[in-house]
Amino acid sequence: MIYTVTLGPSLDYAMEYDRIEIGGLNRARTAGLTAGGKGINVSKVLTHLGLDNLMLGFVGGFVGDEIERQLSAGGYESEFIRLESGVSRINVKARAGFDTTQLNAPGPEIPRSAMEKLETQLARLKKGDFVVLAGNIPEGMPDYTYSSVMEKVSAKGADVVVDASGNALLSTLSMHPFLVKPNREELEGLFSTKIRTREEVDKYALELIKKGARNVLVSLDQEGALLACDHGSILYQAAPEGRLVNPVGAGDAMVAGFLWGYCSAFNGEASEEVFREALKCGVSAGTASAFSPGLASGDDIRAIRRRL
């Protein structure tokens, strides 16, 4: 079973423009509200690929009601914890051509009592399960929130995937997450540097392994992705050519695709061949989503996987 944790789910208000004039009146050509958040996106793609999963996290107010309504109507499984006060976020995604401007709102306060309910949910975990901790830590919560959750998860023998940035990611490394997934910009931020070559990506991915990560998946946009494994291998997979439509959510789809490939290929031994298949499937899912107006379907992901 795969559990995804989204501490701050949102409704994403996506609008498309021919062009955007800062400070002027802009009229959208299209607009739509979609339940989002990094963990939710991962779960959606897992469901498209036929993998059992459950969304966990916190929702509040009328926005939380709509998030749960949309997900239920879409056939996605969730067990969100209702907050006694506060309203879940509405984030704005304004797209003009290939450029997307994202305006993300702060989420509601998450009290300790709500975190204890999440920990109770995670008590059902068992060896062989995966937990995906995705997204930034909400304002007001400590940077070590994910590492605190990992303490409970690791005791159950489950594996953890962390898709976060900055101190939220760094704080988990001592707990040896199964996989961390920074993109190039996030990797640069972790080491306060500018990465210009593939060799530098290799170098800093291996630094994260030295700090405790078991495997490091670095998404490189249209270039594909790199996977550094704790057994010493560095694998690279180029992305196929195609028309970029919407890159939002492609990194989340990559996490889902990686887990799909890993679970499909795993036969009791985490060999290099298993990780190579996971990488190919991750790039397939990320690419398929970037080539789609929304998160990719399972059929689109499988079609690209057959090309790699």
| 129 labelled catalytic | no
Q: How far apart are CA 277 and CA 264, in angstroms?
A: 9
Helix (H, G, I), strand (E, B) or coil at 96: strand
Sign of the Cα torsion 62, 293, 79, 141 reads negative
Q: How far apart are CA 204 and CA 141, in angstroms?
A: 28
Say which residues have a Cβ less than 8 Å from residue 163's Cβ, sequence separation at least 6.
38, 42, 132, 133, 134, 135, 180, 181, 251, 252, 255
Look up residue 263 and give its two tokens: 């679970």
Angle formed by the axes of helices 198-210 and 184-191, nearest 10°: 60
Of the residues 12, 159, 163, 252, only one is catalytic, namely 252
Torsion, Cα of 35, 38, 39, 44 (10° steps): 60
**Which sequence positions are flagged as catalytic?**
252
